[in-house]
Structure formats: structure tokens, C-alpha cells
Structure 1
């Protein structure tokens, strides 16, 4: 299909972009921000979105790049998935992000799609929102009123609804470094390599002396937003990180991960029923925790 008609605006500075979006907000226009376009363009073609104007941020190099800032890594919103994957800073300090990004769609999409665009799209079936939640990322947002920060726990409001106002531009994301003792894994179940996750699990586990001391677990596609599996996180603390033997003995880690679907509201669609997603959440969480704990 052909998109509905819209005005096309391509600002050359972040200040200009904020001004354009602020003016559009005050005039009541429906304006969409274009980053990589891998999520927005299909919606435009299907006329599931029909803005009056499109603001293309492609000429804003200040929104691109990966920076090591001591206790955290700052990733610009326009940094492509491929650039994230090739970053030695990401591989060294945020391996969970590298693992999840490698599963995003295919190479063509990863070369064009952007880190910030994927997060701002706020699709609960996307891989990166769960990672941002598990790592307690902080979103840096700019508008004509200035700059503010939004914790990941507050950023994903509802299905395809981030905590962004109409005049906001996502500048980048602060990703905390978790330091030594942490292990990471992203477990994803999907129909084909290019498909959205039916269920995904982002796991970060800190262990010492063979004991799990802290865990962060976030679920993909188990509700209208990414979900932290708080009960699993609490139940894992103090358990042995060693895998269970083959003698039929009870596995406390498996029991803890059996609570992964608690408090979730998985969707029903053409690919899976809610009860199947609940089963996957429990199984994949166990696999992710075992892999993250070594």
C-alpha cells in the first residue's frame, strides 16, 4: 500500500528538531519521529499510522555513537544495531545487550534499524526493551523545555506507548556497568530467525563462591510491556549456581524459575496462546539463568 500524504521535515540540529516538534505539539499536529524507519515505515504503508508530518533525525550525528563514561556506557539513540554489535565497549561491558542485539531481525534490518528507535517503539515483542529493563537503563530525553531522564522501569507505559511526550526526542540511553561477578544470557524462542520473539528472557546473574547472590530477569512478549520477573529474582538469591545432577534430585533453581510467568498477562495471537507462552517463560528462564550462572 501507499502511505497517506504527510509533510517531510529533516532538521540539521537537535535544537531544531526539538523546536519543530514543540511547534507541532502546540499546534495539535500529529507528528512522528523517523530514526531507522524499520518499525515506522511498515505502519505507514499499511496506514496503521498516518501522521500529518514526519521528522527525520537522520542528519543529527550527535545522536549516534557508543561512549564509555566510567560507571556507565552511553549509547546514542541513532546508533544502529550493527554499530552496537561491533562496539568493543558494548562487548566488554554490556554483553547482555550484544547477545540480544544479535538476535534482532536480520543483517539488513540491523544495518538500518536504530537502538533508540527500537526502544522508543516500545513493542513488548522487541528484544531490547527487556534488556533495558533488566539492566536498569536510564533514558535521556530532550525537548524544547530542556533535558530529563526516565528510568527504564517507568519508560514502557503500555503497548507501543513509551513515556515520551509529543515534543520529545530520545537522545540516548545510559547503560550501567554491572562489574565483575555477573553472567549474562538472552534466550529467545521464535519461529524464524527474522521473526519477533514468541517469548524471550534477558538474564543477568551475579554469583560468588558457587552461590547466586543477585539476579535480574526480564521477559519479552509476556504482557503489554516488558516484565521484570521479581519473584524469580527473589527466589534465586542464595541458591547454588551449580547445575543439578542426573540423580533425580530436586533442582531449586528450576523451582525458582517456575514462577517466571507469575503476574504476567501474555497475549494470544496467531503464533501462541497465553498458556503456551507461560510454559515457554518458565522453560526459557531456567535455560537463561543456567547459562548466565555458568
Structure 2
């Protein structure tokens, strides 16, 4: 139960959703786009989120897309992680998403909700960063399609009134060799320490990480070091560690030193798994 009341809207088109947002914003209602609702429910109960107008985008067809269009796989932002997992159109995403929270929660958590969440893990974004996916964004100026690596810098940098509609991933990436692991310090469904996803494309290993920093990331410096020829694996991983963005998280789940220890071992496992794989 949330400690505040709000108006609830369920638009059927992208334009209607934006119009409702603008109208509610003009009324000072601090409108909130809603898909799965887990973040609003969680943060609203502890006074970290507030709205007087919820705009539920689950009724918009584009937000529920799950289809191949031309040479791209389209996935709507309102798809739950469970639906994505069961369909298994994108194995790297399936495996990565299947490690988010527990089975019950994944039935409510949506793709867009995870990618746009305030919580810093946001593991579902990692496969899209690795595959140079594009995202469709809708706002006052209409639809726009942007490379996710341009728009996602620590978080999805949306303008006021914009929301994520769907992702588009080239099919050429879908069945590339991959490696993805989540390491937790404690129980099976506890918060993760590190989630690492890796993909081999054109004989190069790509890596994206969540849980190490206060944001998920893919780093060209890390990848350049891992793919350097003529060096030992230990030297390459040392270079990757040196190229990490900052700061490194240090909290109740694990110290900075422990997180780096876990990451080092995950990088070692990923390179060993993918180095000789044929893409």
C-alpha cells in the first residue's frame, strides 16, 4: 500500500501517453510512467518516490512488441523478464535476466523498468550495451531511435516526459558466443556483488559489468586490454582492471577490494570461455 493517492491512466497510444504526462505535469502532479510498478511500490513505501498521476504504458502495443522485424529483434519495454526468459529469443539476455531477483519478482519486473530503474544494478541493460542495440524513445517531439551506447551513460539519459518504448538488436549478435555470470556474497536470490556479461564478436571479446560501480557500464579500455595480443592473460586482466571507471562500490554487500577480486576471477573465466569460441 502506498502512502499517497494518485490518478491512474492507461493510454493506448504513444501520443496519448505523452499528452497525459504533459497535462499531469502542468497540474503539478509529478507524473510517473508505470510499466511493472515494482520500483514505484518499493520506493514509494519509504518516501523515495512520489506521484499524483501514474501513466501505465502496458496498454501501448509498441511497448509489448516481441518480434523479428527485418534483421532486428524488437523487444518492448513492458515485457516482463519472465516473458523474455520463456521466449528465449536472445540467449544472452535470457540468461542475464534470469538472474535478476527471484522468479516471482521477475514476473513483475519489466525490461524497461529494470533498464531505467534507480537501483544501480540494472543488469538487463548489459546485453544491449554489448550488442550495440538501439532504443526507441518517445516524448513530446515524437519517436526517436538512438544507439543505446550513446544514450546510456551510467543511466538512460531521458529528457523530461520521455520514456523507453522498445529495444532493437541486430540478429547478427543474437547467437554470438556469450558468457554471463552473477556472483552473490550470500544467498541465492540476495543482491549481487558483480554481474558480468561478455560477448565475442568478430574475434573480439566485449564485456559489460554491473554491481562494481554505482552504474552498469561497458568500457572500451577494458575491452582493449582484454583483446591485446602477445601478452599473458594475467597482464591483460591487470590492464583491464586498471582501465575500470570509478568509483568502485564499497558497501554492506562487499568491500572495494573484494569486488575487484571477484571481477578479476570473472574476467579470467570469461576470457577462457570465449577466447577460442567461433563467432
Bin of the TM-score, shorter chain as denominator length? 0.7 to 0.9
TM-align CA RMSD: 2.4
CA distance in 2: counterparts of 1:15 and 1:195, whole angstroms: 39
Determine which of 175, 178, 186 is the counterpart of 1:184: 178
CA distance in 1: counterparts of 2:135 and 2:175, whole angstroms: 26
- Name the residue aligned to 1:263: 244
Question: CA offset at residue 20 of structure 1?
Answer: 0.7
C-alpha contact (below 8 Å) 1:106/1:194 kept by paired residues: yes
The residue matched to 1:287 in structure 2 has which SS? helix
- Name the residue aligned to 1:166: 160
Measured against aligned partners, the alpha-carbon deviations of 1:18-77 in whole angstroms (never above 9, x if no partner) come to 111123345554211111112221001111111232212232243113111233211011
- Name the residue aligned to 2:199: 204
Unaligned runs of 5+ in 2: none
- Name the residue aligned to 2:78: 78
The alignment status of 1:59 with 2:59, answered yes or no, reads yes
CA distance in 1: counterparts of 2:83 and 2:234, whole angstroms: 36
Question: CA offset at residue 15 of structure 1?
Answer: 2.0
- Name the residue aligned to 1:287: 269
Which segment is superposed worse, 50-59 or 97-106? 50-59
The alignment status of 1:49 with 2:29, answered yes or no, reads no
C-alpha contact (below 8 Å) 1:127/1:197 kept by paired residues: no
CA distance in 2: counterparts of 1:39 and 1:260, whole angstroms: 33
- Name the residue aligned to 2:101: 105
Question: CA offset at residue 223 of structure 1?
Answer: 2.0
Measured against aligned partners, the alpha-carbon deviations of 1:127-170 in whole angstroms (never above 9, x if no partner) come to 11222222222110112321112322233344xx5311221121
Unaligned runs of 5+ in 1: 208-212, 241-250
CA distance in 2: counterparts of 1:13 and 1:127, whole angstroms: 28
Flag the 1:259–1:219 CA change in 2: closer, same or farther, 3 A: farther
- Name the residue aligned to 1:246: none
C-alpha contact (below 8 Å) 1:205/1:289 kept by paired residues: no
The alignment status of 1:142 with 2:138, answered yes or no, reads yes
Flag the 1:289–1:117 CA change in 2: closer, same or farther, 3 A: same
C-alpha contact (below 8 Å) 1:122/1:162 kept by paired residues: no
The residue matched to 2:59 in structure 1 has which SS? coil
